[in-house]
Amino acid sequence: MDDIATQRRSENMRRIRSIDTRPELLVRSLVHRLGYRFRLHGNDLPGKPDLVFASTRKVIFVHGCFWHQHRRCVDGRIPKSRLSYCVPKLEWNQRRDAANRAKLARLEWRSLTLWDCETKDVASLKKKIQNFLGHRVRRISTASTNGKKR
């Protein structure tokens, strides 16, 4: 049974954000440092992807392991309380995610789902992103500022 009072649990759940989450911000920062440029929260695409790479027709979703039921993660387990609410809600989230990925595929967009738990291993995350987006060479400006050395 849950050790947290109902009111406290409700407050905790209310604070959970759907955009600009810590894992999403980490992914955005990493992708930007790798030299890729993107749009945020594609409202015009199915599922409102977190990162949109329009020129290559690719999108990245950053999903929380609990709400999107990551099967390979301990956080993706079904809770023991409020099953009548949680089970249908979590199953609906999974069906919606699958339908959105299918719609994107029909529109000829490729998608990558990154999980909250994957953001803990930055080296592995970097490889996964580069494999999906393709390796990119960062351009470094050789021009000095006003002829002065830094």
- Say how far apart CA 110 and CA 112 lie, in whole Å: 7
What pLDDT score does 98 carry? 96
- Say how far apart CA 109 and CA 38 lie, in whole Å: 14
In this predicted model, what pLDDT tens digit does every residue of 91-145 receive, in sequence order?
999 999 999 999 999 999 999 999 999 999 999 999 999 999 997 655 555 555 5
- Sorted by sequence, the CB contacts under 8 Å of residue 19 that are 6+ apart come out as 41, 50
List of domains in the chain: 6-133 (3.40.960.10)
Query: Cβ(50)–Cβ(62) under 8 Å?
Result: yes
Average pLDDT score, the chain: 84
What pLDDT score does 15 carry? 58
